[in-house]
A and B are shown apart, each in its own frame.
Chain A
C-alpha cells in the first residue's frame, strides 16, 4: 500500500530526491579525491555532504510518506549511499593496486 505524496509536497518530494543523488555524488567525489590526493580538507567536506544527504533523505521520506514497510527504503538509501562509495574505493584500490601499483607510481610523478 502506498500513501501518495500530498499535493503541496510534490516539489519537495522531487527536489529532495534529486538532492539525494546529487549529495550522494558530492560525498563520493570528496571521499575519492580526498583519499587520492591526501587532501585533509576533503574529509570533513565529505562528511558534510553525507550529512546534507541525511537531511534531504529525511525530507524525502517525509514528503514521500515512507511509513510502514517503506521506512525500510529510507534505511537502505542511508546505508547504501554511505557504504557503496567506500566499497567501490576499496575495490578500486584492490583491482588496480596489486598488478600495477609500483609501475604506475613511478610513472605518475
Chain B
C-alpha cells in the first residue's frame, strides 16, 4: 500500500504534464492551465524560500553569505505575488469565453504573451538569486532589483509587466466586446484597468523616502485591499454560478454591494499605512477610522452567507472547490478581519508596526483571501479538464488527498499565524514599548524565549504546510483521472441575464 502510494504519484504526474489531451478545452482554458501550472511552480518556490528564511531566524549562519535572508525573503514574497496574479489571470482566461459567449480574441497573441511574461519572471528570479545586489546607482534599479518590498522587480521588468498586462487586457476586454457584456465582466474589466493603473504608481525613483513610501502603498494597499478583492469577487461570482448554480442577477447585485462596501472602507483605509511615514497627523484619524470600518462589511456578509446557504439547497458539483471557498470565507474573516483589526488603530500600531505582528497578519490574510480562491478555482478547472467528472462526495479513497491537503495547509497556516502573533506580541512589548526601539532593544526582543519559541513553532507549522502543499499538488495531478461518473447536476442558471 505504502509502496504503491509512493510509486503512484510519479506515473500520473508525468502523464498529466505530458498529456496533450486538452482537445475538449477552449483556447482560453488551455491557456489558463498553463498559467495555473506556473502558479503552482511559484507556489512551491514561495514555500521553499519561506522555509529557508524561517530557518535563518533560528540558525543565522545557515546559508549566510550565500543566500542571505534578504534574498530568500524577496523571492518568498515575490513568488507569492506573482503566483497569485498568475492564478487570477488563469482564472480569468478560464471564464472569459464562457462569460462572453465567443471564442477568445487574439488567442495566439495571448499565448505568446504567456511565454514572454513567464520568461521575464524566470529571468528576474535568476537575477535575484545569482546577482542579488548591485552598486548604488540607477543601473541596479533598472536591471537587478528595485529594493522596495513587494515590488522589487527591476524597472525593465516593470515595463514588461505593464506591456504584458496590456496584452492580457486587450484579449480579455476584446473578447467581451466581441461577445456580450455582463455585470460581472464589466466590473472585472474596470477593475483590471485600476489594477494596471495603480502599478504605475510604483514605477519611479525618488530620493525622498516619504514620497517613495506614499506611492508605494498605493500599489501595495490598493492592490491587495481593494482591486484584488474585487477581482476575486468577480472570479468568485462566476465560480458560484458554475459550482453551486447560484443565480446570475443575485450574484451580480451582491458583487456591486461588495464593491461599494469594499471600496467605501478600503480606499481610505489606505490611511493606516500613512501613520508613521512622515505624512500629516490627520492620517492617524482617517486611517484609524476607515480601517476600523473595514471588518464591519466582512462581518455583515456572514449574514448573507448564512442566508444563501440556508435558503437555497445548493448542490455542490465540486466538493474540493466548495471546501476551499469555505476556507476562503474563514481565512479572509480571520486574517483580514480579526488579525487586521487587532493592530490597526494608531494607538496600538505605534508598538506593533514593523514587528512579527505584521508578519502574522500578512500570512493569514494573503492565504485566506487569495491563495484559497486560486486553489478553489484550479479545482473547478481540473474538473472540467478531466471531462466534467464527478467531484462531489464519494470520491475514490474517500478523497483523502484533497481533504488532508486542505487540513494540513490550513492548520499549518493558522499555526504559523498564532506562533508569529505570540512572537510579535513579545517583540512589540520588549522592543517597542519597553525598549524604545533601539538596536539593543531589538535584539533583546529577538532573544526572549517567547520570541524564539514562536519562531520555532512557526517553522514546525511551515513544514506542516509544505506537506499539505505536496499533497495538494499530488491531488491536482490525480483527482478525477479514471473517473467515469459525470459531474453532479446542479440547476445551472441561464448563461446570461439582462
Contact = CB atoms under 8 A, between A and B. Distances in A.
Interface in B322-350: 333, 337-338, 341-348, 350
B270 interface: no
A31 interface: yes
Among A70, A88, A108, chain B packs the most CB atoms within 10 A around the CB of: A88
A104 B200 CA distance: 47
Interface in A67-88: 69-70, 73, 76-77, 80-81, 84-85, 87-88
A41 interface: no
A3 B337 CA distance: 24
A70 B300 CA distance: 23
Interface string A1-43: 1111101001101110110111011001101110011000000
A84 B296 contact: yes
Nearest to B292: A73
Contacts of B350: 2, 4-5
A81 to B, nearest CB: 6
B310 A10 contact: no
B299 A28 contact: yes
Interface in B295-334: 295-304, 306-308, 310-313, 333
B171 interface: no
Interface in B424-458: 425, 428-429, 433-434
B41 interface: no
A108 B313 CA distance: 6
Contacts of A3: 347
Nearest to A97: B311
Given A24-B299, A28-B299, A28-B300, A14 B343 contact: yes
Given A5-B347, A17-B341, A95-B250, A25 B433 contact: no
Contacts of B333: 21, 25
A89 B303 contact: yes
Contacts of B181: none
Contact-residue size bin, chain B (C-beta under 8 Å from the other chain): 35 or more
Nearest to B428: A10
A92 B429 CA distance: 44
Contacts of B425: 10-11, 14
Given A11-B425, A13-B347, A81 B299 contact: yes
Contacts of B281: 1
A32 B303 contact: yes
Interface stretch (B106-114, B283-291, B464-472): B283-291
A74 to B, nearest CB: 10
Given A25-B302, A85-B300, A108-B311, A5 B338 contact: no
A108 B344 CA distance: 43
Given A10-B429, A64-B347, A18 B342 contact: yes
Contacts of A84: 296-297, 299-300
B312 A22 contact: no
A70 B345 CA distance: 10
A91 B307 CA distance: 10
28 contacts: A2-B350, A3-B347, A5-B348, A5-B351, A10-B351, A10-B433, A14-B425, A17-B348, A18-B338, A20-B341, A21-B295, A21-B337, A25-B299, A32-B303, A32-B306, A64-B347, A66-B347, A70-B285, A73-B289, A76-B293, A77-B292, A84-B297, A89-B307, A91-B257, A92-B307, A95-B250, A99-B250, A107-B313
Interface of A: 1-5, 7, 10-11, 13-15, 17-18, 20-22, 24-25, 28-29, 31-33, 36-37, 64-66, 69-70, 73, 76-77, 80-81, 84-85, 87-89, 91-93, 95-96, 99-100, 104, 107-108
- Ordered nearest first, which 8 A-B pairs have the shortest CB separation? A84-B300, A32-B306, A92-B307, A24-B299, A88-B300, A32-B303, A36-B310, A14-B342
Given A7-B429, A85-B303, A92-B308, 12 more contacts: A2-B284, A4-B346, A4-B350, A21-B295, A21-B337, A33-B310, A64-B347, A64-B348, A85-B299, A93-B307, A108-B312, A108-B313
